[in-house]
Amino acid sequence: MTIYDIAKSCAVSIATVSRVLNGSNKVSPKTREKVLAAMNEHNYKPNPFARGLGLNSMKMIGILCTDVSDAFFAKAVSLVEHDLRKRGLDVILGCTGNELSDKKKYLQLFLDKHVDAIILIGSPFREEQDNSHIEKIAKQIPIITINSLLDVPNIYCVLCNEKEGMQKAIELLAKRNCNDILYLYDSLSYSGQQKLAGYKAGIQQYNLNKTSHLIQKIPRTLEAAEAITAKLLDSGIELSAIVASEDLLAVGAQKALSARGIILPVVGFNNSILAECSTPSLTSIDNRLDVLCPAAVTILAQILNGDFAAAPSKTVFPSLLVERESFSHNKPNKKRS
């Protein structure tokens, strides 16, 4: 069933059929109805390849993340897919891993596939040194980043103010008289830097303990978080709270605490399912994927509409501290109150 068949069955030309297909207003209501009816009757769907050839677009958006099996990225992909689909856009997914060469490969691959735009999920796509490979792509098609920042033409960034979120968490701990706050993190991606900066700003602001062993970089595993926390705890170092750049690390820290029967405030980041499942349930900073993702898709839609003026190159939302047991549970200042 092609456009020719429909045209024939309606006794119109293929141009007219094409017009109703593309919603042109240069078709009389009468013929439009006739054509629509025929399409319906024959269950006609235009061939997407032919359409792509003509329009040089298949209304397909490339989504890239380093790893969809990570809960944070998966949630973002889920939200983005949902909103793109609502707008009739298709989603082609790529999981790059962390190798720069692979990220480049995927970017090029998507470009070669003529996707209409690329959405980069998470800050691992911002390299520390050189992002020229991304800039190069952005010259050809628009790029949206979610939770990362790249100040490059034709790249639109939607992110959460993680620095502020982290700083607020420190603030709350400081007000509970926590002076020695351990910070666990695993990477200095853009997001990682922001969080660390927030921690440091908070420490500075409240003049808390700045000792360097209170900042620990570890692998992104439960075991590593548990081990370092155990080590510090057992070494007799003073600790009054633990904050992590990732729920997983916070859960690891909690395990070390539980094993020793110690109760301290613990704060994670991402507000993932892990935070709810942990015992005690984990206070966590939510980076608002639920608002970042729809915002990103809205911007993307504007760009695809050619409405560049309406598309902000940088959109920042506040983060949200979600309090759970790992916070209220503990009263380091109980005795004094």
C-alpha distances in Å from residue 15, one per residue of 4, 6, 18, 22, 45: 10, 11, 5, 10, 16
Phi, psi of 267 (to 5 degrees): -125, 130
**What's the min distance (Å) between Cβ of 239 and a second copy?**
19
Helix 71-86, helix 289-304: angle, nearest 10: 40
Nearest-angstrom CA–CA distance, 265 and 71 = 23
* Residues 12-51, interacting with DNA (CB under 7 A): 12-16, 18-19, 21-22, 25-28, 30-32, 44, 46-47, 50-51
Our CB check for DNA shows the closer of 51 and 75 to be: 51
H runs (alpha helix) in 43-161? 48-55, 71-86, 100-112, 132-138
Our CB check for DNA shows the closer of 6 and 63 to be: 6
Query: Can residue 9 be called a binding residue for DNA (CB under 7 A)?
Result: no
Count Cβ atoms below 10 Å from residue 84 Cβ, excluding itself: 23
Our CB check for DNA shows the closer of 53 and 237 to be: 53
DSSP for 108-119, please give it.
HHHHHTT-SEEE
Sign of CA dihedral 13, 15, 21, 26: negative
Instruction: Name the binder of 27 from a second copy, DNA, none, CB < 5-8 A by kind.
Output: DNA
Our CB check for a second copy shows the closer of 107 and 150 to be: 107
Our CB check for a second copy shows the closer of 2 and 204 to be: 2
Cα-Cα-Cα-Cα torsion 128, 129, 133, 137, nearest 10 degrees, comes to 60
Our CB check for a second copy shows the closer of 163 and 255 to be: 255
| Binding residues vs a second copy (CB under 8 A) | 45, 47-50, 52-53, 56, 58, 60, 63, 67-71, 74-75, 77-79, 81-82, 85, 90-95, 112-114, 222, 248, 251, 254-255, 258, 273-274, 276-279
**What's the min distance (Å) between Cβ of 6 and DNA?**
7
**Token match 């007000």: residue?**
175
**What's the min distance (Å) between Cβ of 48 and DNA?**
8
**What's the min distance (Å) between Cβ of 31 and DNA?**
4
Binding residues for DNA, rule: CB under 7 A, are 2-4, 11-16, 18-19, 21-22, 25-28, 30-32, 44, 46-47, 50-51, 53-55
